[in-house]
Amino acid sequence: MPRVAGIDIPEKKKIYYALQYVHGIGAKFAKDILAEAGVDGDQRANEVEESKLAVINSIIDSGYLVEGALRRQVQQNIQRLKDIRSYRGDRHRKGLPVRGQRTQSNARTRKGKKKTVAGKKSVKAK
């Protein structure tokens, strides 16, 4: 199984799509990396020569933030927002949407499962 940037990529898929399994590499970066390495994107990952895989690995190592380092940087950015008590940091802390979405009727993904609150009991007059 071919390894790129320290992780196994699917060998039966085209190398263009297989590269996108690495956290931090999307369609644009995959295209740029393959162009720089001189690899055809339609080639299957297991058909790419070891020397070309080494070139792809060196390109990723030298110019792209991927996998653990990228995840760590994102977490540090979120922690910085929390530490400086910014509005976005408070939203992260409370587990609410951060980018201005409405929360009255939606935001279930971020807020979690519904917590039902019992309604007020009405008092009947005699």
pLDDT one-digit tens code per residue, 1-36: 777 777 788 889 999 999 999 999 999 999 999 999
| pLDDT (0 to 100) of residue 63 | 86
| pLDDT (0 to 100) of residue 121 | 76
Distances (CA, A) of 5 to 57, 62, 88, 99: 6, 11, 32, 31
Give, for 108, the enclosing helix (H) or strand (E).
Answer: helix 108-111
Which positions ≥6 away from 57 have C-beta within 8 Å?
A: 3, 4, 5
pTM of the model as a whole? 0.75
| pLDDT (0 to 100) of residue 4 | 78
Compute the distance between CA of residue 39 and CA of residue 33 in angstroms, rounded to an integer: 9
List, for residues 61-110, the tens digit of each pLDDT value.
Answer: 998 999 899 999 999 999 999 999 999 999 999 999 999 899 888 888 88
**Mean pLDDT, residues 41-68:** 90
Strand-pairing partners, residue 44, are 14
